[in-house]
Structure 1
């Protein structure tokens, strides 16, 4: 009996809805200004307003409201009638695009070319007379006649002015980049890429402008994330503002839609810089998609859009966010190679201790591996202290000594106390072997396709300093020894990060060589190393300031003090 009631109600409700007409989605209807449609049924046509027909969501909403008002006390009917109806309801209306276009063209052609003709000296309307449709046509005609004419010349001028404004905006953007972002080293290929980003957004709008809420599908979010990763956050924010300005100029998009893009793009710019690792891939996709979708929904509701339309906008926003992150992850390495950049995504991948080179370093040269970990830690903390790129510095610390894997036994941190192969070699040969770890490291890096920015740490972490131990040994045998034979070939470090790793490498080795590394001893050793580097010209090509060098010196002292702090002498406990 209960089942019969459900079937009876569902059948009646379906008949009511389908008799009015059900379409899958009202967005697909190309409405005119009056929001009316022509429905053809059984060979007859009749005109109805948009509110007189249902889409699938509105039909189900109508059924839920109807059954609640009629059978509020029948819980079985309330639960199963909507479920049954939803499973069988199907659209019985569809849009005939070809017929719609045909009729619109006929209506366009049937419009009189001259409406509201006014004869010379004719009185259009007298005081207190009713203004009917013919009088309204004459007033409109007079207004049109007296208004400035938009001839072909005027349209050309408007087109030229609009493009001139765009090029002025773009020129100011490039000028701003060149003056404020000199450290980014914006080259010709970078400018081509940035220009393409601008054009891509305008092109996408031009191709799909007829879609409702197209602003939520524009690749502004994708552009912002790419620029943030390839250049910097600040640069991405500036680019975002100029990008939105050009879209407003060309498209006249609704401001609330662009506001949602602005907010979600800013969020994505900061999130992708903090959680750019591929390990966090799913998390970043969901976060960016949700933020984009939620803001699209809220802004649409604020703009008094219907709830259904707001839901559609939020779905567009979520899809845009998800697709943007997927495309970034898929193409970022290609863009890195084309533009000669290295992003935080790649750097965080290189920080994975499961990288083949780091696994080999740990297995073949445990002493060098431990040294590299300390250098990386020192470099990261020093970079943070002077607002340098801490990820780049840490990666540089990890990989700077990988060349020692070729001949690990020739480096003191990998030797046991019983055997030192340098004891049987002339100092000049020993120095040559030591220098070769730079060349070997560069070859390994190239073989494993390590970015050139990271390879630079391998080449520059000794600068052109001397190999002091073997130089002094040679001078004890021959006072006329040529110092240049015992110098590394360089180059000198150029960036702040390269300079930090050079200093961290020397300081860690120097402090580790102390027999009793107390606080004062470590401090003197660090100061001596810094002074030697300065006198030897190792900072000559570096962008680092003297103030930052002093900050780094203090950071190294504090960090190493924690690593090499005094231990309790358990052997002497209880002894007098």
Structure 2
């Protein structure tokens, strides 16, 4: 065992060097990569177009089938009809145009008539005929001048001539008929290919009027001229409808776990394209899964490196790092071993994994925060390692199961640190495992038989109990191999039935009482400065174990006996008193006690001076040196030992005082701390002045609670008077 401890010490010394810590993390990364390599390696499928599938193939991922998505979008666009709108204002425009033409004709007739009346008396009958002919030409010319060029070009002179030759009453009737007919036809939808039909409808409506043939032909011509297309294609509205149709098309996706082709079915061109899209035809050249795996491992190791790099740079940190790494690799190995059963059809084998084992071991041996971190890491690794029999790369259900199981173990052991409680923690984990599995099964909304549920009950309890059994079995190896003083070990050492504690109680009861008092003081003070209060308490129980060799030579055990030091020379008394520190350390080593407890017994007095016997020796006239009356040391190396040394001196000093007041207690505590500082007893530990101030305050508060004022009853007072 000593050789093993020596090898561990060498390894721990190497881990003090940053390069070796990096190498350790790289080793962990390589182990993780190869543990999960086969689980992310794409499956090699020998598939060719128009061949028959030898097995049912499911998609490993969810991916969009863009070709089919575009095809459906195009089909949706093709089903959208062009949008045409009716220009309703065109009907009114054309009615206004016809009205304007008739009004212009009437206007021209009225102008010519007025001019003719002025010249009526001057013209002869013959010349009058000439004037009439000239008047019609004049009317036509004047009419064309008043009309627009478009109208005059589109219409011949015949309708204008007929209208100019008609009376006002006839024009009024013709106007009403034409306007009505045009309005009726133009109020309806007239697409480009229906314009001629619309013109015919106007013609039919005006054909049967009672007007003379000349005027009837004229209004028919005007009606046909007035009817135009009023329905037009709207590109903006059409495009908007097409876009809406495109947006309404859901992307065509190949879902994770979806069957692409069933066993014995032909691999058609569409199926082949889906296989290609899912990446099942590129297994030889695909490096993406490995890149993703390396990135996940890199993130985990970076977080782990950061956590340990932020910890105090002590031997304890290197020990915790090594323990964490070994437990993690061990859990990963068990996980990989169990995953081999999934290749034989046991897809639910992941639930057998003792997920709480690593979490409980790390919680007990190292730190709760690191236990939580390892639980999360194992959940991630488990989701990849136990991915056989599922469609995707990650088995999320197993990941949830592992994390929940590990958290259950950590939570149960948060305040239950006895070794006997580990088995209870396993039972608690089993119940949590069962609840998690049942909830996950119900989420699937699938049909399960009673046999299936029975299987889940068995694996849930098997996982929890095996976690507890492995934790109990492995804990002694880590404690012995790494010299770890765990919380459970400390609680066991605090048991009054421990042989050494029983030895103190039976052979030196005064020392036992003194140790308990010092333990109360030291524990509260250590916790106040962030130290290990439990270690301080248990260390105090054993710190004066050396006094059991000569209990009567220590004042707390001198009940109803004379002080033997009164008959001994100061140098002999000094040797007896000082020996209790080294004797205690030797006794503890002999009983294989943890190094931390041995250090407390050996260092709690440091190199302090035995002032009483030193001054007694000087008074006797002896030529003595101060160094001869000092404890051999070493000085306190940790905060806990420094606090225990102060608490030890304080308790002994206060016990010697009669009815101490709070002011006296505070003065005494501060004088003892100042004396230790001036004597250099705290120079080897990392306790600060601020922490010493906190220690002083805590010790004073605890002592005030112990030595608080009590009401003195009359009978007790009378009894004391009689005794006096």
Q: Please report the TM-score for the alignment, with normalisation by the length of structure 2.
A: 0.57
Helix, strand or coil: the match of 1:154? coil
Helix, strand or coil: the match of 1:469? helix
Contact 1:409–1:415 (8 Å) recurs in 2:
yes
Contact 1:201–1:247 (8 Å) recurs in 2:
no
Tell me the equivalent position of 1:416.
559
**In structure 1, C-alpha distance between the alignment counterparts of 2:327 and 2:471, rounded to whole Å:** 15
| Aligned pairs for 1:322-471 within 5 A | 322-416=465-559, 418-471=561-614
Contact 2:339–2:349 (8 Å) recurs in 1:
no
Tell me the equivalent position of 1:241.
376
**In structure 2, C-alpha distance between the alignment counterparts of 1:476 and 1:189, rounded to whole Å:** 57
Assess, with a 3 A threshold, how the Cα gap between structure 1 residues 304 and 146 changes in structure 2: closer, same or farther.
Answer: closer
Is 2:185 the partner of 1:185?
Answer: no
Task: Pick which of 515-524 and 364-373 moved more.
Answer: 515-524
1:212 aligned to 335, 347, 362, which one?
347
**In structure 2, C-alpha distance between the alignment counterparts of 1:257 and 1:394, rounded to whole Å:** 42
Tell me the equivalent position of 2:400.
259
Assess, with a 3 A threshold, how the Cα gap between structure 1 residues 528 and 134 changes in structure 2: closer, same or farther.
Answer: closer
Contact 1:221–1:265 (8 Å) recurs in 2:
yes
Instruction: Give 1:480 deviation, angstroms.
Output: 5.9
Instruction: Give 1:281 deviation, angstroms.
Output: 4.8
Helix, strand or coil: the match of 2:413? helix
Is 2:56 the partner of 1:115?
Answer: no
Assess, with a 3 A threshold, how the Cα gap between structure 1 residues 158 and 197 changes in structure 2: closer, same or farther.
Answer: farther
**In structure 2, C-alpha distance between the alignment counterparts of 1:395 and 1:334, rounded to whole Å:** 22
1:274 aligned to 392, 402, 415, which one?
415
Contact 2:646–2:673 (8 Å) recurs in 1:
yes
Instruction: Give 1:375 deviation, angstroms.
Output: 1.2
Instruction: Give 1:158 deviation, angstroms.
Output: 5.3
**In structure 1, C-alpha distance between the alignment counterparts of 2:398 and 2:424, rounded to whole Å:** 25
Tell me the equivalent position of 2:443.
302
Contact 2:324–2:366 (8 Å) recurs in 1:
no
Helix, strand or coil: the match of 1:181? coil
Contact 1:257–1:299 (8 Å) recurs in 2:
no
Instruction: Give 1:427 deviation, angstroms.
Output: 1.8
Instruction: Give 1:440 deviation, angstroms.
Output: 1.5
1:526 aligned to 661, 669, 672, which one?
669
Contact 1:368–1:414 (8 Å) recurs in 2:
yes
What residue ranges of structure 1 are gaps of 5+ in the alignment? 1-108, 118-126
Contact 2:605–2:633 (8 Å) recurs in 1:
yes
Tell me the equivalent position of 2:616.
473
Instruction: Give 1:233 deviation, angstroms.
Output: 0.5
Instruction: Give 1:178 deviation, angstroms.
Output: 2.4
Is 2:367 the partner of 1:226?
Answer: no
Contact 1:467–1:486 (8 Å) recurs in 2:
yes
**In structure 2, C-alpha distance between the alignment counterparts of 1:422 and 1:112, rounded to whole Å:** 98
Assess, with a 3 A threshold, how the Cα gap between structure 1 residues 116 and 249 changes in structure 2: closer, same or farther.
Answer: closer
Contact 2:351–2:459 (8 Å) recurs in 1:
yes
Root-mean-square deviation (CA, aligned residues, Å) is 3.3
What residue ranges of structure 2 are gaps of 5+ in the alignment? 1-44, 53-73, 76-260, 387-392
Assess, with a 3 A threshold, how the Cα gap between structure 1 residues 135 and 519 changes in structure 2: closer, same or farther.
Answer: closer
Tell me the equivalent position of 1:140.
271
Assess, with a 3 A threshold, how the Cα gap between structure 1 residues 550 and 313 changes in structure 2: closer, same or farther.
Answer: farther
CA-to-aligned-CA distance 1:399-424 (integer Å, 9 cap, x gap): 11111111111111111354222223
Is 2:706 the partner of 1:563?
Answer: yes
**In structure 1, C-alpha distance between the alignment counterparts of 2:48 and 2:718, rounded to whole Å:** 111
Task: Pick which of 279-288 and 519-528 moved more.
Answer: 279-288
**In structure 2, C-alpha distance between the alignment counterparts of 1:238 and 1:231, rounded to whole Å:** 12
Contact 2:524–2:698 (8 Å) recurs in 1:
yes
Q: Please report the TM-score for the alignment, with normalisation by the length of structure 1.
A: 0.71
Instruction: Give 1:169 deviation, angstroms.
Output: 3.8
Assess, with a 3 A threshold, how the Cα gap between structure 1 residues 423 and 244 changes in structure 2: closer, same or farther.
Answer: same
Higher relative contact order (CA 8 A, sep 6+): 2
Contact 2:570–2:613 (8 Å) recurs in 1:
yes
Instruction: Give 1:142 deviation, angstroms.
Output: 4.9
Instruction: Give 1:116 deviation, angstroms.
Output: 5.3
Greater Rg over alpha carbons, structure: 2
Assess, with a 3 A threshold, how the Cα gap between structure 1 residues 297 and 417 changes in structure 2: closer, same or farther.
Answer: same
Assess, with a 3 A threshold, how the Cα gap between structure 1 residues 114 and 267 changes in structure 2: closer, same or farther.
Answer: closer
Instruction: Give 1:112 deviation, angstroms.
Output: 9.2
Tell me the equivalent position of 1:87.
none
**In structure 2, C-alpha distance between the alignment counterparts of 1:112 and 1:283, rounded to whole Å:** 53
Helix, strand or coil: the match of 2:268? helix
CA-to-aligned-CA distance 1:477-534 (integer Å, 9 cap, x gap): 4586322222222222233322222222111111111133232222221111111112
Contact 1:499–1:539 (8 Å) recurs in 2:
yes
Contact 1:162–1:249 (8 Å) recurs in 2:
no
**In structure 1, C-alpha distance between the alignment counterparts of 2:414 and 2:632, rounded to whole Å:** 35
**In structure 2, C-alpha distance between the alignment counterparts of 1:134 and 1:212, rounded to whole Å:** 25
Contact 1:353–1:359 (8 Å) recurs in 2:
yes
**In structure 2, C-alpha distance between the alignment counterparts of 1:387 and 1:541, rounded to whole Å:** 18
Assess, with a 3 A threshold, how the Cα gap between structure 1 residues 206 and 173 changes in structure 2: closer, same or farther.
Answer: farther
Contact 1:229–1:273 (8 Å) recurs in 2:
no
**In structure 1, C-alpha distance between the alignment counterparts of 2:636 and 2:485, rounded to whole Å:** 18
